[in-house]
Each structure stands twice: as C-alpha cells, then as structure tokens.
Structure 1
C-alpha cells in the first residue's frame, strides 16, 4: 500500500493500480469491475488492468423499478448518483486508513437485499464507514445482476441463478486480491440481509465456492418462501419471454410488472417472484438442499436470525389496512397476523435451519432483534437491522421507519451490535461476557 496526497490513495494490486478515495480515516476503492457479462449469460472474470483503475463519477446499478414502499420506509434513492448497467458486476472495498504494515484484517462481504429485484451494493444506507472506524475491519460491498437479468430463468436461452454466479465471481476476486488491501483472505465473512441472506444461505450449498468464505451472517432471510417455486418461476419466465430481446432496459423494467399479478395465485411466495432456483447450476435439487447444508455444517460458522416484527414493514405501513386494522380489535388482529407471517416466512425457517446445522455438528448462533422502544409503533420490522449495522444518521433522515426513534438510541444499540458481529467475523464466536444491546436476544444453538 502506498499513499498519495490527501484525498487519494493508491493500491498496488495484482489486479492493477487502483485509485481510491481517502477521507476521515477511511479509504474506499469504489466500483471495481470484477466480471463482465452478456445478457442471460454467465459472468466472465475481468482481466487485470495495465492502466489505472479509477472510480466512476456515478455508481453502476442493475436496471430496476423503484419501490414506493422502500422509498417511504427507508428513504429516497439518489438516482442522480447512479448509472444503469445491465452487466452489474462491481464491488467496492472500504478499509481503515490506520492499518499497520502487513496487518491482515478480517473481511466482511456485504450482499444487499431487495427481493432479488432491487438494490445495489453501494447505497448510502449501507455505507460501512462507522462500522470500519469502530471495529477496524474491511468491508467489501458487492453489486450483481437482479430481477430479469439475474434471478429468473429456466431455459437454455435464459438460464437461472445468474445473480448467484455473479456473487461467486466477486468472491473469487476478493479471495485473490483482498490481501493487497490489507485483508485476510483466510478470514472472510459473508453478511446478507433479506434476499441477500437468502443468497448467502444458498451459496453455502453451491458448487464452485470451496475456500471462498469461512463464516456467514444471515439476517432476515425469507427462507420460508424457498419451497416449491418451480411452477411459479416457469410461468413468470414464459410470461416475460416477450421482453428477453428488448434493447431498452427502461422499457423492460416498466413492462415486466404487468405480469407479476399473474403469479399471485401461488400464494405468499409470489411476494418474491424472483429468486434462486433449485435443480440448476450451481445448486442441487430442492429435495437435496437440507442434506447438503448438513454435509457442509463443519465448513462455515453461522450467525442467523431475524427481526421480531418483520412483516410489519409491509402490513402496518399500509394505509388501506390501517383504515380497518389500526386500532382496537382490528389492531389485535393485525398484531397476530404480523406474528404469524413473520414466523412463517422468517422465524421458524431460521430456527429449523439453525437446529439442523447444530445437529450436524455446525457452529451456529440464532438471534432475534426485539423492539424495546416506546418510540416505534411498528416494533422491529424488516430492515430495522440496517441502521443498526451501518449507522449513517444522515442517510436515514427521510426514513419513515426510524423517524420517531431518537438516533442516540439507534446508535448505542447499533454500536454494541456492530461489535458483536465484528467479534463473530474475527473468531466465529460470541463470548458470553461480550456486551449485548438491549434489543438483541441471541443464543448458541446446541450448546
């Protein structure tokens, strides 16, 4: 590692000379292309560059439709800072500016959520600066293909699981080059939330990942929606066949939404019409999946869990539902519905996963984030873990989800949670005597 003038840092790596931003004790190498792809084809690793690798003016992002709910609950997306790119294989490396010579820091790889349909590795709400400053770790954020481009397929011309293949290529890149940034290639933890957690759980049983990571932190993965998706995926694939050769990606994004209502008949799983598909590379069949996780139980340390009121994010924020279920008996019905759907989609599958894993000899912790704040009427909904893990008060200013919660409360609980998650990333363990935030219930399973 060599430093230039203030504001710029140069990494001399085996991949090339990478120009990074340096500010407030943090160094960030932004939007490094780790692979290329053509539409509906597997990614091809990017070759080392003979010229300087410079961060782009705008952040590349997979073409997508903005979610009105996400814009309301999490915050407005700064679209002016993003550039749509159908070949969305980019990653960013953020590390502390005070690393010692030859120091090997633990590496956390962030796999973002968004129903395999929306999102990006480099959003302000998941900027890891606070976490890195507090815990002296390296965080790599990964972008990959989504929606029609990455998580729908089932034919020779439109193969499934391309988003998973993208992430695997990112992990190969990280394994090869992270030491040039001061990271330890033998201590890599994958961290994923929502569909990102779903992707990580399935990377654990994917082909071609041997030695690429060592631990996983799975937050709010909708594992209850992973079953018997084949018919729904096949129908959605057939309905969107008309769009496969469309050159205007914005038109593709506008048009595919017309076909989503046709899969509502498949029940709760239709809430996430895009997803991983069993029986196609790099995955086994659905029937083989549980046994595969058991077989791999001693390979990876696991920290898995959820927020106590996940589905309140969708149900308690609906104006139409609140009209009828916002108070009295209606509110009791709403609370019971949130409890049941949270456990069905997130809670029970996470517990069963953890118990199976521990029973097969794996090291696994199970957690639940509980709302103990009188400020928050919707409890601990989906995505409440994001401000806890990443902080960044300014990025959450327009969030409906946290607007009545004092930031000091979020920061104090978040600081303790970040310390625990970093402890797990370093060692694969959480000490019984480590300080816990009041909002966290956690236990080692099978201990």
Structure 2
C-alpha cells in the first residue's frame, strides 16, 4: 500500500484499486466503496477490482421507508444526504490518520440494525471516528440489501437470506483487502446491534462464512423473534408477490406495508416482519440451530448482551394505542416482560449453549443509573455510547433526560473495553468499567 495526502484527501493505492478518502479529525474515511453488485433477487457478485473509487456526494442506501418512530428515537432523516440504490453492497473504512506503516490494527466490522428493514452502514449516528481515534482500531461499516430486496424469500424467483449473502461477501472483501488499509486480516471482529446482532449470530452458522471473523460483539439482538416465523413469512411472501417485478424500487418499498401480517395472528414478532429464514441457504433448519451453534462455539470469542429497559421507548413514549392509557406501574411491567422475552432470556440461552460447547463467552447488561430518566436504558441507548457524535445525537428523544457528559464518561470506558475484547478476545478483571455496565464471563 502506498498513500498520498493532499488538502484533506487521502489516496490509497490498494490491490483493489485507487481509493480516494477524506482526512480530518484524526481519522481517514474511505466512504461507500462498492464490494459487490447484484441484480434483483440474485446473489451478490463480488467485485475483484475497481480501477478508481471517488468520494461520493451522497450515501447510497437500500430503498426503504422513512420511519417516524426512528426519527423521534434517534434523529430526523435528511433524505437529501442519501441516494436510493437497489444493489446496496457498499462499505466504509475508518482508520486512524497516524500510525506505523508496519502496524496491523484490529478490525471491527459494524453491521447496522433497523429490523432488517431500514438504515445503512454509514450514518452520522454510527460514525466510529471517536472510537477509531481513541483506541487505534479500524472500523469497517457495511451496507446490505434490506426488506423485500434482502430478507423476504422462499422460492426460486425470490430466494431467502440474500442480505446474509451480502454480509458474507463484504466479509470476504474485508478479509482479502483490509491489510492494504492497515488492518489485520487475521483479527476481525463483527459488531452488530439489534437486527445487526441477530444477523451476526446467524453468520456464525452460515455456510460460506467460516473463518471470515474471529470475534463477535452482539448488542440487543431480538433473538426471541427468530423462531416459529415460517407461516408468517410465507403469508408475507405470497401477499407481496405482485411487487416482485415492479420496476420502481422506491415504489416497491413504499407498497409492501399494506400487506404486513396481522398483529393478532402472529403475536409480537410482527413488529419485525423481515428476518433471517431457517431452512433456506445458507442456514440450517430451525430445529438444528442450537446444535450448530454449540458445534462451532470454540471457533469464536463472543460478547453478547442488551439494555435493561429495551422496549421502554416504544412502550412509554407511544403516541397512539393502548399504551397511552396505562399507568406507569403497568407500563414498567410490560417493559420488563417484553425485554426479558425478546432479548434477555434468548441471549442467556444462546450464551450458555455456546459456553457448553467450549466457547469463550461474555454476557453484559447496560443499565441507567440516572434517577430522572423516565425510559431508562432503552433500545439504542448503547449506540451513542459507542458512536460518540454529539451533533448527530443532540435531538434524539432517546437522550432527552440524559446529560451528554454522562454519555461521554460512560462511553469512553465502554469503548475501551470493547476494543480490548476485539484485540484479545478477553476483558481483564482489572480493566476500568463504566458504572452502567454489568459484565460476567459465562
């Protein structure tokens, strides 16, 4: 690798091609590099060489709905910053601006959440610059196909799990080329939150993903939603069949919500209508999954956990529906029960199953220690802790009663611990821990 610098632009001469990147604030960021191409409902085709990569004006995203709930929870979406792109195989590399050329840095691959339906890898609210600068690591953020394009299928014309294939192809690219950017291709950790964490659990048992990463950090994975989905997915697939040949991808993304499965018939899991699907490549049958995880347990170091009040934002700040009429005491019970069933108990089963298979597993819980924080440690509270970016998070209703200094103080310690895990696969008893964290070796 050779590097040229000029007025905030960094140029990598890599074996993949000439890559232009932005330089500033102590990091170098190579944005939206295409790692593969795909046709609709086809597997991704890896890109072997890209003669020249230029810095894009807009961030490419898979066609999707803008979520009013997420606009409230995190940040209002500025659609002008994004470019809809049905073949959404892009990654962004963020590395420190200064380090020894001979040094190979640990690599963390960020897999974003969003219920397999919304989001992308390269958002201001998941900007890893502070983490990269502090801990001298490389973070690669990946985008993949979502919703109808990536996570609903079940026949020859519309295969299941295409988004998982995208992730695997991205990891292959990273394994092959990241050393050209200063990364250690033998020390790759995948890190995902919400559906991104669920995806990582399934990448661990996906055909073709073997030996592509050593460690996994799994935040707030809704593993309680992974089972007994077949009937719901089949109904959803059937009802959206008329959309498969719609030439306008944005119209396709806007139209499916009228055909979402009913809440009463399939229960809480309808709040996440898209998901990985068992019984279709690259996954095993559902009844084989725990056994598969146990068999591969010794191959991965795993750090898994959730927030104490995962469902609180959805329950306690609802603007319509039954939750708006219920007393706080009842709402607290609903938050506790749903957090346990969707996140905590399934994560405990997952972690103990891996440990029984000889795995190196840590389990954590993030809790709020603030007295006047009405929603506590709700879903996504972990994100500003890891991705410290005050400008991006300042309007988030999630942080309404949370002083930014509290996020900074706890976040810095948490980032150090997670980087320690990414480097070594372990977290020392002597390492300083934030007051919000409960951590144990399983």
TM-score if structure 2 supplies the norm length?
A: 0.98
8 Å contact kept, 1:36–1:87:
yes
Q: SS where residue 296 of structure 1 aligns?
A: helix
5 Å-filtered alignment, 1:238-317, equals 238-262=238-262, 264-317=264-317
> Using the alignment, how far apart are the partners of 1:315 and 1:224 within structure 2?
18
Report deviation, 1:263.
Answer: 5.8
Q: How many correspondences in the alignment?
A: 440
1:399 counterpart (373, 380, 396): 396
TM-score if structure 1 supplies the norm length?
A: 0.97
8 Å contact kept, 2:191–2:216:
yes
Q: SS where residue 108 of structure 1 aligns?
A: strand
2:340: which partner in 1? 343
Report deviation, 1:244.
Answer: 0.5
1:215: which partner in 2? 215
262-271 or 342-351: bigger deviation: 262-271
2:381: which partner in 1? 384
5 Å-filtered alignment, 1:363-442, equals 363-442=360-439
8 Å contact kept, 1:235–1:263:
no
8 Å contact kept, 2:204–2:210:
no
Q: SS where residue 93 of structure 1 aligns?
A: strand
5 Å-filtered alignment, 1:14-93, equals 14-50=15-51, 52-93=52-93
> Using the alignment, how far apart are the partners of 1:121 and 1:56 within structure 2?
15
Structure 1 residue runs without a partner (length 5+) = none
1:189: which partner in 2? 189
Report deviation, 1:374.
Answer: 2.1
**2:220 counterpart of 1:225:** no
1:157: which partner in 2? 157
5 Å-filtered alignment, 1:62-211, equals 62-211=62-211
Q: SS where residue 358 of structure 1 aligns?
A: helix
Report deviation, 1:53.
Answer: 1.1
Q: SS where residue 6 of structure 2 aligns?
A: coil
> Using the alignment, how far apart are the partners of 1:18 and 1:239 within structure 2?
43
> Using the alignment, how far apart are the partners of 2:37 and 2:220 within structure 1?
30
Change (3 A) 1:99 1:375: farther
8 Å contact kept, 1:60–1:85:
yes
The Cα RMSD (Å) is 1.0
> Using the alignment, how far apart are the partners of 1:59 and 1:107 within structure 2?
22
> Using the alignment, how far apart are the partners of 2:215 and 2:84 within structure 1?
32
